[in-house]
Amino acid sequence: MLYFFFGGCYVEADHQSFITYVALGDSLTVGVGASFLAPGFVGRYVRLIEKEKHVNVCTNIYARSGIETDGVLDIARSQALHSKIERANIITISAGGNDLIQASKDFIESGETAELVQSVKDCHSNMVRIMGTIHKLKQQCGIPYRVYLLNLYNPLPQIQLADKWVKLFNQHLNSFHNGKTILVADLYSAFQGRQDELLSRDRIHPNNLGYKKIAETLSELGYPAV
């Protein structure tokens, strides 16, 4: 498994003055669509955490552009990441967007809605496994933490069934929300009707303003009590 990794850590030995953050996901977590040298949502979110909590953030990004939910599952299950996940105070997960794009392409070619329906089911199954893996690792961790799931915005409003697919996926994603350790960041509402403003030239990924909006949407959900 090949994935993009970035790690940065600032630690003071005498007390915990830092938050550990693990970002898992697809091209959204990588930051595809942002202008050259500009941060995606992860870098912007880290700045907001540091400003709000007055702590440094130890950041680890495990993501790969173009992967679907089964690829994110592979990342979450990687033994090399388990200790990182166990120690993380904050975990963000972006997944599902590439599944939507592929399912939409298949639908355009075949005209069969069954593939869209099956894609949603497969995504949900993969997300259940991802969350199950994280839950198992965090059960005995003994540290405050939160998992933030990024729901999907609809980059293809011109395809009516795409919006239906996105809403159905988001409905499944909301089933994980418990208001305490697992929260859903509502990107659908944040981007709806603002695609022209928030998407990059490829009309799929966010631009700089879009990534800023994602970071703000995450920040509005609050932080674990570290």
Q: Which residues are catalytic?
A: 27, 202, 205
SS3 148: strand
Is 16 in contact with 54 (CB distance < 8 Å)?
Answer: no
Cα–Cα separations (whole angstroms), residue 94 to 24, 42, 64, 127: 7, 11, 11, 10
- Following DSSP, what letter does each residue of 75-125 receive, concatenated? HHH-HHHHHHHHH-SEEEEE-SHHHHHHHHHHHHHH--THHHHHHHHHHHH
Residue for token digits 């697992």?
182
Q: How many CA atoms lie within 13 A of 110 on its CB side?
A: 11
